[in-house]
């Protein structure tokens, strides 16, 4: 409710057409200070195949993957934020095409032993910074107290490569990315006003033709609206964080159980390979041993199924409640988008007519 | 007499020596929903069960009729199964008896899976997708099911030619279940089958509602548990 009030207040400010004093300078200051891009990390693709019949073969628990898809971006977020190499690092429910740097990910594998992710990072200019698979061992989750420590090795690799990619770009280039981000954002809401500043290449990249003046009233409105959206993004981010703190310890338990299951599977395999050595073929002991090998393998699988249900029993309602709240926030923002779009287009038309 | 022996030998060989799949291709496909709903709790009806010893005796006679082994019992030359043949069948019988020991079967069923839970054993699993059965494969064995009319047939193929097959037949009134369990092996000339019968029963409503959780294990409440 508080966010709604703040947003309503900001919306009023946006629509008043507030215009600060100042010369018609380009929108970006020519500072040589280090620029740290803002990063938006979209909720990951859970990597669940459409074909349900593959779930068992691939040992995928779809519901848990969905939870992981919301949970793991936060581990990356914390890793990036802790590096202090970036501006604001946010987790967003949907990919934001106007983000200064958008990071998307797909879970390729997640069991108790290994985490494999495909990570793609694209800047607002449409240039790909990173597009590769990362995999690494899962940290021993018995240290559940360190919530951000889970799967740290993989996310540390991602952070290092992203940081290296950022260092390859000079301050001017990073500022340009930031400018393109703002103009693309404006173009989404008021294409009549901002379309003239953008060039879209056939390869999907964007460049700036020129920038609006720093005191351009439309640009100021867009900046204010973006500020409002950030408030909502941060509200969503806070919701995600609340969820994370609630489920981190349960998730750590789940990983621990999965890790143990993998150990049991290895033990089963070792036992099956050696247990028939001294038994007479066709004897009761021999055939019972063959049957038992299968039996224990299946029981191990069943235990995993039960654990998945137990995990979902505990975490599912929390995730559902959070998703509902986020859906409400997103719906509110979507509605405002439509309204902003309409009003901004009308304002631009009115202002252009006055100038003419 | 000789002709009967030859026929029996051929029959036994067909039963035990061929490698024709238990789940034939046509049994793997079906139209619409699953042909039968086996879900529910089933308790053993001992009165109708096969007696293991009686089935074993029958196996002994069958093996005797087809055996080439002869022995002298003091008065005359007798024909009987070899000790190896008998030992192999007894091994299958013991395994069949072990597998069919559970008193209660709990069957859950949805559009994609039938799970048959048994005490002290793994839950048999049948998977169905897009009108066809799907095998559950592993290095330890392959489990595949099929439909023979309204009968569910589960076939577990294990290493060394060992196979365990269950055929589930529900009575017309839906209150009785017959399960024929057959164990075959490459080392035995005869398969071994046991019939078990079950009656449907309803669990008494519990005053507790319980759910499993990871952090608190089993959580029970006197009212409906909201997870």
Task: State pLDDT tens for residues B79-93.
Answer: 667 778 889 999 999
Q: Against a cut of 0.95, is the pTM above it?
A: no
β-strands B141-148, B151-157 pairing? antiparallel
Mean pLDDT for the stretch of residues A187-215: 90
Q: Which pLDDT band, with edges at 50, 70 and 90, does A33 fall under? A: low
Q: How far apart are CA A225 and CA A304, in angstroms?
A: 47
Rounded distance, CA B190 to CA B62, Å? Answer: 9
What pLDDT score does A96 carry? 86
* Number of cross-chain residue pairs from A and B with Cβ atoms under 8 Å apart: 98
Taking CB atoms and an 8 Å limit, are B94 and A284 in contact across chains?
yes
First to last CA, chain A: 42
Q: How confident is the model at residue B224 (pLDDT cuts 50, 70, 90)?
A: low
Interface check for A300 against chain B (CB to CB < 8 A): the answer is no
Query: At residue A15, does pLDDT exceed 50?
Result: no
Tokens standing for A49?
């195949």
Min Cα separation A261/chain B (Å): 14
Q: What is the pLDDT of residue A279?
A: 82
Q: Which residues of chain B lie closer than 8 angstroms to A282, CB-CB?
A: 84, 87-88, 91, 185, 187-188
pLDDT at residue A355, as a whole number: 60
Supply the pLDDT for residue A235: 82
Q: What is the pLDDT of residue B51?
A: 93
Residues whose CB falls within 8 Å of the CB of residue A263, separated by 6 or more in sequence, listed in order: none
* pLDDT band for position A26 (cuts 50, 70, 90): very low
Which residues of chain A neighbour B137 with C-beta distances below 8 Å? 57
- Which candidate from A57, A306, A317 shows the least CB-CB separation from B227? A317
More confident residue, A116 or A215: A116
**Closest to A175 (Cα-Cα) out of A311, A30, A273:** A30
Q: Give the closest-approach CA distance of A178 to chain B in angstroms.
A: 45
What is the pLDDT at residue A7?
45
pLDDT at B62 exceeding the cut of 90: no
Give the CATH class of B2-221: mainly beta
Q: pLDDT value at position B143?
A: 94
Q: Which of B136, B214, B218, B221 to mutate to test the interface with A (most CBs of A within 10 A)?
A: B214
pLDDT of residue B64 exceeding 90, the answer is no
pLDDT at B69: 61
| Statement: residue B16 has pLDDT above 50 | no
CA distance A111 to A259: 7
Query: Higher pLDDT residue, A41 or A53?
Result: A41
Contact A283 B136 (CB under 8 A): no
A112 touches A73 (CB < 8 A): no
- Separation of CA A180 from chain center: 21
pLDDT of residue B197: 97
Domain boundaries, chain B: 2-221
DSSP class of A84? T
> Which chain A residue lies closest to B92 (C-alpha atoms)?
A284
B123–A contact, CB cutoff 8 A: yes
Distance (Å) from the alpha carbon of B75 to chain A's nearest alpha carbon: 33
Binding-face residues of A in 55-114 toward B, CB within 8 A: 56-57
| pLDDT band with cut points at 50, 70 and 90 for residue A29 | very low
pLDDT at B118: 95
- Give the closest-approach CA distance of A288 to chain B in angstroms: 6
Give the mean model confidence (pLDDT) for residues A275-302: 88
Q: So what's the pLDDT on residue B74?
A: 67
Average pLDDT over residues A136-149: 57
- Could you read off the pLDDT of A54-113 as tens digits, one per residue? 888 888 888 889 888 988 998 899 899 999 999 999 988 888 888 999 999 999 998 877
For residue B11, pLDDT over 50 is answered with no
Q: What local confidence, expressed as pLDDT, does residue A56 receive?
A: 82
CB A330 within 8 A of CB A93: yes
Check residues A243 and B107 and name the one with the higher pLDDT: B107
Taking CA–CA distances from A298, the nearest residue in chain B reads: B122
Tell me the residues of chain B between 158 and 187 that have a Cβ less than 8 Å away from chain A: 158-160, 162, 164, 183, 185, 187
Residue of B nearest to A291 (CA): B158
Question: Nearest residue of A to residue B113 by CA position?
Answer: A53
Predicted pLDDT of residue A151:
52
pLDDT of residue B8: 42
A268:B91 CB<8 A: no
- Mutation target among B140, B158, B159 for the A interface, most CBs of A within 10 A: B140
Residue B14: pLDDT above 70? no
- Look at residue A251 in the predicted model and tell me its pLDDT: 82
- Highest mean pLDDT of the ranges A59-63, A145-149, A261-265, B148-152: B148-152
Q: What number is the average pLDDT over the span B187-212?
A: 90
- A67, A251 contact by CB (below 8 A): yes
């Amino acid at each position: 409710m508080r966010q709604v009030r703040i947003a309503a207040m900001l919306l009023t400010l946006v629509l008043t057409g507030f215009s600060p004093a100042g010369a018609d300078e380009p929108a970006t200051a020519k500072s040589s200070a280090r620029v740290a891009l803002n990063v938006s990390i979209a909720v990951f693709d859970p990597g669940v195949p459409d074909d349900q019949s593959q779930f068992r073969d691939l040992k995928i628990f779809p519901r848990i993957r969905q939870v992981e898809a919301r949970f793991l971006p936060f581990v990356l977020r914390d890793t990036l934020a802790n590096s202090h190499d970036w501006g604001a690092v946010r987790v967003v429910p949907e990919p934001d095409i106007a983000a200064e740097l958008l990071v998307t990910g797909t879970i390729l594998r997640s069991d108790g032993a290994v985490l494999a992710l495909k990570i793609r990072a694209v800047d607002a200019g449409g240039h790909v910074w990173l597009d590769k698979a990362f995999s690494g061992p899962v940290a021993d989750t018995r240290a559940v107290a360190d919530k951000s420590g889970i799967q740290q090795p993989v996310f540390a690799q991602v952070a290092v490569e992203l940081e290296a990619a950022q260092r390859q770009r000079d301050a001017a280039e990073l500022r340009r990315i930031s400018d393109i981000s703002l103009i693309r954002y404006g173009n989404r809401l008021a294409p009549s006003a901002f379309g003239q500043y953008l060039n879209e290449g056939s390869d999907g990249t964007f460049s700036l033709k020129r920038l609006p003046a720093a005191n351009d009233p439309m640009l100021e409105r867009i900046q204010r609206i973006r500020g409002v959206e950030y408030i909502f993004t941060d509200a969503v981010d806070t919701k995600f964080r609340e969820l994370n703190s609630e489920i981190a310890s349960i998730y750590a338990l789940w990983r621990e159980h999965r890790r143990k299951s993998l150990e049991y599977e290895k033990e089963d395999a070792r036992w099956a390979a050696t247990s028939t050595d001294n038994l007479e073929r066709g004897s009761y002991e021999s055939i019972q041993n063959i049957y038992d090998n299968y039996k224990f393998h299946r029981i191990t699988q069943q235990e995993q199924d039960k654990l998945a249900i137990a995990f979902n029993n505990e975490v599912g309602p929390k995730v559902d409640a959070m998703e509902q709240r986020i859906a409400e926030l997103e719906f509110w923002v979507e509605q405002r988008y439509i309204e902003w779009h309409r009003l901004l287009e009308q304002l631009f038309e009115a202002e252009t007519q006055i100038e003419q | 007499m000789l002709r009967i022996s030859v026929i029996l030998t051929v029959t036994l060989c067909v039963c035990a020596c061929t490698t024709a799949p238990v789940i034939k291709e046509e049994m793997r496909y079906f139209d619409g929903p699953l042909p039968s709903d086996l879900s529910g709790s089933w308790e053993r009806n001992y009165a109708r069960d096969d007696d293991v010893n009686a089935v074993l005796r029958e196996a002994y006679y069958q093996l005797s009729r087809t055996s080439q082994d002869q022995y002298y019992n003091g008065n005359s030359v007798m024909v009987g199964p070899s000790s190896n043949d008998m030992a192999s069948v007894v091994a299958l019988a013991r395994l069949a008896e072990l597998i069919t020991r559970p008193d209660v079967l709990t069957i859950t069923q949805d559009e994609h899976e039938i799970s048959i839970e048994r005490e002290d054993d793994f839950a048999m699993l049948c998977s169905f997708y897009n009108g066809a059965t799907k095998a559950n494969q592993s290095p330890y064995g392959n489990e595949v099911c099929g439909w023979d009319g309204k009968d569910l047939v589960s076939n577990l193929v294990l290493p060394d030619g060992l196979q365990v097959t269950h055929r589930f037949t529900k009575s017309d009134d839906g209150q009785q279940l017959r399960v024929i369990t057959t164990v075959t092996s490459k080392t035995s000339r005869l398969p071994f089958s046991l019939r078990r019968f079950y009656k449907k029963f309803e669990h008494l409503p519990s005053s507790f509602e319980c759910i499993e959780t990871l952090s608190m294990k089993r959580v029970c409440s006197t009212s409906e548990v909201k997870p």
